[in-house]
A and B are shown apart, each in its own frame.
Chain A
Amino acid sequence: MAKTVAQEFKKGLWDEIPPFRLVLGLCPVLAVTTTAENGLGMGLATTFVLVCSNMLVSLLRNNIPSRIRVPCFIIIIATFVILVELLMQAFAYGLFLELGIFIPLIVVNCLVLGRSEAFASKNKFVPSLADGLGMGIGFTLSLGVLGAVRESLGTGMISGVKVFGPSFEPFEFMVQAPGAFVALGLLLCVMNIIGKK
């Protein structure tokens, strides 16, 4: 069942959208989505790593002995993660302070390793690029939406702009850890209702 490049790209946006359909990479999904901006920043950082590692793994897939493929993937992924961390420190230090420890933790995000193992190591360069890009954008959108839901309900604002009327009383717990689970559960529920039709 050969899929077209466009299909490989599109599946990450809905059919296999990472946090909601594959339910992969939940640690950052729950931890950094206190605001829409943090969610998007984390998503973009992950997308960069995902696209780069997918491309490189796909290019090297015939040269990597299968018994040591996982250590090789980890080296590749870790390299790009440190690259992102350095670049973020140099050009977006404010975001780096917010995301902090979760940037190095992209290394152990099972979504990134999962795509290398399940897709890029078996497919050609272009489909792997499309897969990484689609999954990454899907991940970014999910984090952005989750962040926006939590930020708006938890603080009544998105990036400093009030979204509800003046009588709105913020649910403060939405920006704390339990709120992450509640928001994720509600979004999963909405996704399933839409998906059934």
Chain B
Amino acid sequence: MREMVRMVATLTILAAAAGGLLATVKTTTAERIEQAVLDYVQGPAVMSIMEDVSNDPLEDRFALTIDNEERDFFIGKIDGAPRIVALEGKASGYGGDIGVMVGIDIETGEIVGIGITTHSETPGVGSRAESDVRFLTSFKGIPVREQDKIYIGEDDGDISNIGGATVTARGVCTAVRRAGEMYKNYESEIKTQVEAFAG
């Protein structure tokens, strides 16, 4: 009995100490990690969408809480006026979730470009979604509200398939549609937030 108590006590104290230590470290590093994710994951995707903007979209951003999750929106200015907003959509691909940053022109509602943020697709097969120019540019100019166009050709949509990586291509399309859905549902909130960055 005494040994039993000692075992329970040891494990409890050890686990509590470990938990406390990790919680402390997690809170102290949270800000830096957020910055690192911005620099390494979302940053390159945002910059690839916003080629000729006059501001730093990583600086001009805001967050909205949608479905209990905080989501970042990045703003691109053209000639000083906010014109493009980029948001991230997620959907499952062949090997896990694919994150896709979608840039939308707030005046015309058209997609200006997409960039892959995170994925765990097969290297050399699904991973080509990151760099396949034909695939990526086929999203350009599609009005984000016309969701039935954001499917690959095989599914009667307007998007070029990636040879041998249909599952990945479908996953990316779904992620883009989800981002579009989010944009559609929260358009007025997004536009109010964007206006704060004007001037």
Contacts and interface: CB of A to CB of B under 8 A. Distances in A.
B10 A79 contact: no
A75 B15 contact: yes
B22 A64 contact: no
Given A75-B18, A82-B22, A83-B21, A89 B36 contact: yes
B14 A72 contact: yes
A197 interface: no
Interface in B25-74: 25-26, 29, 32-33, 36-37, 39-41
B interface, over-half SS? helix
A94 B21 CA distance: 25
A93 B37 CA distance: 8
Contact of B36 (A71, A83, A90): A90
Interface of A: 63-65, 67-68, 71-72, 75-76, 78-79, 82-83, 86-87, 89-91, 93-94, 97
B18 A68 contact: no
A90 B37 CA distance: 9
29 contacts: A63-B10, A64-B10, A65-B7, A65-B10, A67-B7, A72-B14, A75-B18, A76-B14, A79-B18, A83-B21, A83-B25, A86-B22, A86-B25, A86-B26, A86-B29, A86-B33, A87-B25, A87-B29, A89-B29, A89-B33, A89-B36, A90-B29, A90-B36, A91-B32, A91-B36, A93-B33, A93-B37, A93-B39, A94-B40
Contact of A75 (B14, B40, B41): B14
A164 B41 CA distance: 34
A113 to B, nearest CB: 15
A91 B31 CA distance: 11
B18 A76 contact: yes
B122 to A, nearest CB: 13
Contacts, number: 54
Interface of B: 3, 6-7, 10-11, 14-15, 18, 21-22, 25-26, 29, 32-33, 36-37, 39-41
Contacts of A83: 21-22, 25
A94 B7 CA distance: 41
Contact of A65 (B3, B22, B33): B3
Contacts of B22: 79, 82-83, 86
Cβ-closest 4 pairs across A and B: A93-B36, A90-B32, A79-B18, A90-B29
Contact of B11 (A71, A87, A89, A93): A71
A177 to B, nearest CB: 11
